[in-house]
Chain A
Amino acid sequence: DAGITQSPRHKVTETGTPVTLRCHQTENHRYMYWYRQDPGHGLRLIHYSYGVKDTDKGEVSDGYSVSRSKTEDFLLTLESATSSQTSVYFCAISVDRGEETQYFGPGTRLLVL
């Protein structure tokens, strides 16, 4: 298995509070991604990074921000959590931008009350 960890694995928070999810990799892969998985919507890309300090928006980026100060860490921040952001969040990594597979982390279950 690719060396990807996510923390926390489970979190319950209240509407309006900031939340930061962390993805850590030990593979030294250049590309990192954040997805959310919801029933009826499947997996959707939130943000991705193509290098340290290089990030871009995905399909559902509103309400989320990201940062990547080191190759191994990619942070996803919900500035002010809403109930619609209750979801399972997955981090993924890849060597390049399309020719090789993406490897996924174990996920973080977030409940916003």
Chain B
Amino acid sequence: KQEVTQIPAALSVPEGENLVLNCSFTDSAIYNLQWFRQDPGKGLTSLLLIQSSQREQTSGRLNASLDKSSGRSTLYIAASQPGDSATYLCAGVDDYKLSFGAGTTVTVRA
């Protein structure tokens, strides 16, 4: 069974600082790794998907890396803004099934 861990559980940074969010998983035989954003009381919004054959994906200020051999993925958010405040979830995909981490709640202080 895939176990996904996200550390830290919460993070508070001043505006403009770069964010580094960590995700670790136990089973390296994953199809892909996805990062989601969840705002309070809302559903999940897909941010990035990294295929198992890829090392990283980029979208605007977001960059996610994947190292299957070490069982780690990292989400980088450059030049954080107050609007980036949310909970960020990573999920390892094993065939059809998403295994989620508990998330990292980010607060960006203006």
Contact = CB atoms under 8 A, between A and B. Distances in A.
A106 interface: yes
A101 B34 contact: yes
Contact of B31 (A42, A44, A98, A107): A98
A75 B42 CA distance: 20
Interface string B42-62: 111110010100000000000
Interface stretch (B11-19, B73-81, B91-99): B91-99
Contact of A98 (B45, B46, B95): B95
B17 to A, nearest CB: 26
Contact of B93 (A50, A98, A106, A107): A98
Interface in A69-102: 90, 92, 94, 97-102
A58 B97 contact: yes
Interface of B: 31-32, 34, 36, 42-46, 49, 51, 89, 91, 93-98, 100-103
Given A50-B96, A104-B46, 6 more contacts: A42-B89, A42-B100, A48-B96, A98-B94, A101-B34, A103-B46
